[in-house]
Structure formats: C-alpha cells, structure tokens
Amino acid sequence: MIVLASLADTAQGIVETFGIDWPMLIAQAINFLIVAFVIWKFAFKNILSTIKEREKQIADSLSNADKIKLELEETEKQQQETLQEASLAAKKTISTAQEQAKAFIEAQKEDARKQAEEIITKAKVAMEQERERVLSEAREEIASLVVLTTAKVLSKELSVEEKEQFSSRATEELQLSS
C-alpha cells in the first residue's frame, strides 16, 4: 500500500508539474479515437483491401507465369519433336524418290536395250530376207543365162520343159554350192 500511495503522490506531482488538464486530455483522447476510427473505416480498410487484391494479382501473375513457362517448354519440346519427325519424313521421302528414280532409270535402260535388240533382230531378219531375195533373183537370172547359153551352144531352141529342167538343175547346184 505504501507503494501505491507513493505512486499516487508521484502521479500527482507530475500532473502539477506539467499542468495536465484532465477534461482536455479526455476530450483529446476521444477526438483521437474518433479520427482513428474514421481513418480505419474509410481509408485504412480500403488501402488494406487494395493491398490484398494486388498481392493476389501478383500471386496469380506469378502462377500464370510459371504455367506459361511450363507450356512454353512443352511447346518447344513438341516443336523439336515435330521438326525431327518432319526431318525423318523428308529424308524418307528423298530416299524413296531416289530409289524410284534409280528403278525408273534401270527400267528405261532395260526398255532401251530391249528396243535395240528388237531393232537389231528386225534388221537381221530384213537383211536375211533381202539376201534371200537377191540370191533368189540371182539364181533365176543365172538359170536363165544358163538356158540361153546352152541354147546358143547347142544352136537350137529349147522347149519349155527343157528350159525348166535346166533351170531347176542349175538352181539345185547353186543351192548346194552355197
């Protein structure tokens, strides 16, 4: 109790020394509380809600940035895979085209070789036919010359049968000699 009494004396001394006017102090405290409440109600609350909204927007933006970064990485990975697939497909197409070109060239060469062989065969057949025709004409000519020569040598005219006999013999002898 002594301590309380001593505190009360000390407080009384301070009030008298500094000249505290209690009704004024209480009025100022009430004014302070009213101003603090008005600031809290109309300004500080709005500021806090705005700060919270901005914090939420920033958090959402960071979250979206992370998502976008992941999507970008995935897109780049897919792009690389697509490019690799396209490259492989292009190489395969080029390879196939080269093989087809080689096959086409070989087929063309084979066709040209067959055509050349056909031309050569036809030329040989035509040459053989021409040779046979010329030989046949030559045999007939020689046979007729033999008949004429024989007729002159014998100085007589041969009958048709005799001419045919001489011609056929001459032809047979020519055939045997060739």
For residue 156, the 8-state DSSP code is S
> What pLDDT score does 97 carry?
92
> What pLDDT score does 155 carry?
53
Q: If the chain, 178 residues long, is cut into consecutive pieces of 10 residues, what is the mean pLDDT of each piece?
A: 73 73 88 91 83 92 91 93 93 93 92 92 91 83 75 65 75 69
- Say how many domains are in the chain: 1
Any domain includes 11 = no
Any domain includes 14 = no
Contact 142/168 with Cβ under 8 angstroms? no
Q: Is the pTM of this model over 0.75?
A: no
> What pLDDT score does 90 carry?
92
Alpha-helical runs (H) found in the chain: 2-18, 22-38, 45-154, 160-177
Question: Could you give the 3-state DSSP secondary structure of residue 138?
Answer: helix
Any domain includes 5 = no
Structural domain range at position 113: 25-177
Any domain includes 15 = no
Q: How far is CA 82 from CA 77, 79, 178, in A?
A: 9, 5, 80
> What pLDDT score does 152 carry?
67
Residues, the chain: 178
Any domain includes 165 = yes
Any domain includes 19 = no
Query: Which residues lie closer than 8 Å to 143 by C-beta, 6 or more apart?
Result: 166, 167, 168, 170, 171, 174
Q: How far is CA 44 from CA 33, 34, 50, 164, in A?
A: 14, 14, 10, 147
Any domain includes 38 = yes
Any domain includes 6 = no
